[in-house]
Amino acid sequence: MGKTTSEVYDWTQNFWVGCQPVSAGCLHCYARADYQEFKRDNFDKVVRTKTWGNPLSWQKRLAKTGKVEKVFTCSWSDFFHPDADQWRAEAWSVIKNTPNLLWQVLTKRAEFIADRLPEDWGEGYPNVCLGVTVEMKKYLWRMDTLRKIPAKARYMIAEPLLEDLMPDLEQHVEGFHQIMVGGESGNGTNDFRPMNEQWARNIRNLCVAKQIPFYF
């Protein structure tokens, strides 16, 4: 948690850690492997972290320069996990009060988003981009669920991409502002499911045609 070398995010912030598998993409979960290597705790139990003050310190620094930086939240959990309901309102408050941080909020639990937004969400917080993971065609419904929810920006991550999402994906991209694609890492081992490069090219070509920013 903290500064990252990612080309996509400047920071990671976990308000809580821990999760359980919900779909095919969870089989070789990088977060579970990383957490258990460093913490050696039970990843199935969702627990609150002690790093809640970090975003406020980042905000204080950025406010002086007017710069905006990106934060990926819950890289070791799921922001909409039901076991974190007791802390989520406080997390939304931190997010709302850090306007110089652009929060990337990703979930595989799209069905829980609508009931777990803050009361003053309105058409969406200006510094929040809501996203869903879609690793196979049978999870494209997550995009449809997210599309119905007001948001200033929406994105989809096809990672790990486990099959060709085309041509079905074309019917689900309306209302999305970015699509990202990646393969499975295997958690530092050779135990990963291979991704056909043409699957990624097919999504890239769709994004070009639809003028949707694409990142691989």
Average pLDDT over residues 81-109: 98
Give me the pLDDT at residue 52, please.
97
Check pLDDT > 90 for residue 170: yes
53-89 confidence digits (pLDDT tens): 999 999 999 999 999 999 999 999 999 999 999 999 9
Check pLDDT > 60 for residue 188: no
* pLDDT mean across residues, the chain: 93
Check pLDDT > 90 for residue 40: no
Give me the pLDDT at residue 192, please.
84
> What would the DSSP string read from start to end of the chain?
-EE---SS-SEEE-SEE-----SGGGTT-HHHHHHHHHT-S-TTS-EE-S-TTHHHHHHHHHHHHT--EEEEE-TTS-TT-GGGHHHHHHHHHHHHT-TTEEEEEEES-GGGSGGGS-TT-TT--TTEEEEEE--SGGGTHHHHHHHTS--SEEEEEE-S--S--TTGGGGT-TT-SEEEE-----TTSS------HHHHHHHHHHHHHHT--EE-
Predicted model pTM: 0.92
